Amino acid sequence: MALSLKDRVKAATAPTVPAPVVEVVEGATAEELHAAQQADGGQAADVVMGWLERYRKDITAALPDCIEPAVFLAAVKAALPGLARCTPASLLQSVLTAAQFGLVPDGVHSVLKADGPLAVWVPMYRGYIDLMYRSGRVGSVHVGFVREHDEFAFEPTAPSPLDLVHKPEVKEPLAKRGPVVLAYAFAWMLNGSRSQVVVLNREEAEAVRDEYSEAYRRAEENGAKDSFWHTHFDDMWAKTALRRLAKVVPTSPELRMLTAAEDAGDAGQVQILHAPTGADQVLVAEAEQAAAAAEAGQDVPAVPVTPWVAKKPGRSKPKRPRGGRKPARR
């Protein structure tokens, strides 16, 4: 059985040095937070936002200089009605992860969404483009969709830029141009050279979805069909092309961390462990105390926590013995 977020956070925050514990909620008790999680609409969002205000300084400190804190927090507040029933621990770690990558959860660059009782941060394909630009090596990134009746030719062995020709019939309505059949991506580097072109057809995108997306499998199994592969297929298609492009374009360690954080969220694991800088582990431990209080419906006991110590991300799954066979997927 997979570990819950509660168990994973506890494992990542094993206390060693006692530290004073302050009240869990500023402006709202644990009982009020628990009640808000059972409510709908703006009232729940307001109470949960009041709880998050306790961590405003830490969230602001995690943001890069290029992101205005007021803009980031406004986007977080707008997302809260859909997250009010998520555990406080998962909500805090998803917000901190978004802050550390500097991608505003505005539905364009990234999204905060509920996956059962967990709040999960999902970077969108425009977020990947943002981080490519921030690497300081990429001048521009192009992502395109080819429709059935567009003029398109791709010859990988031809010299750049003659290897790629795409002439969409932009004057025609989309219905006449036909459905999307290909997604492609490439980058122009600051030195004037162009990267390799990544081309991905629908069958390849679906194969990536079926093999790697735990969120898609869960949504299929429970009949919800609410994963981003269900609701934003073209965006996920484009993001898959960009993730492949990131492997052949000189970018930055931060972009590689982004893919690890996204994969962790998709698998229901703690994303913040893959963020560019370590979050204050005290914050995560305090959020876990808030989660326990909300579940128990009583005040949080004084449990010692420990300051964060940087560690390299470990394996997300136990290592199989050599020579062992991977169990068949049902």
Query: Is the torsion defined by CA of 77, 79, 82, 84 positive or negative?
Result: negative
- pLDDT of amino acid 79: 93
Give yes or no for a contact between 281 and 308, defined as CB atoms under 8 angstroms apart.
Answer: yes
- pLDDT of amino acid 154: 96
State mean pLDDT over 87-116: 94
At 143, which helix (H) or strand (E)?
strand 138-147
Alpha carbons 94 and 287: distance in angstroms, whole number: 12
- pLDDT of amino acid 267: 92
Alpha carbons 319 and 115: distance in angstroms, whole number: 26
Ramachandran class of 309: left when φ > 0, alpha when ψ lies in -120 to 50, beta otherwise: beta
Beta bridge partners of 154: 164
Q: For the whole model, what pTM was predicted?
A: 0.72
State mean pLDDT over 133-146: 93
Selected residue with higher pLDDT from 134 and 15: 134
- Residue 6: pLDDT over 60: no
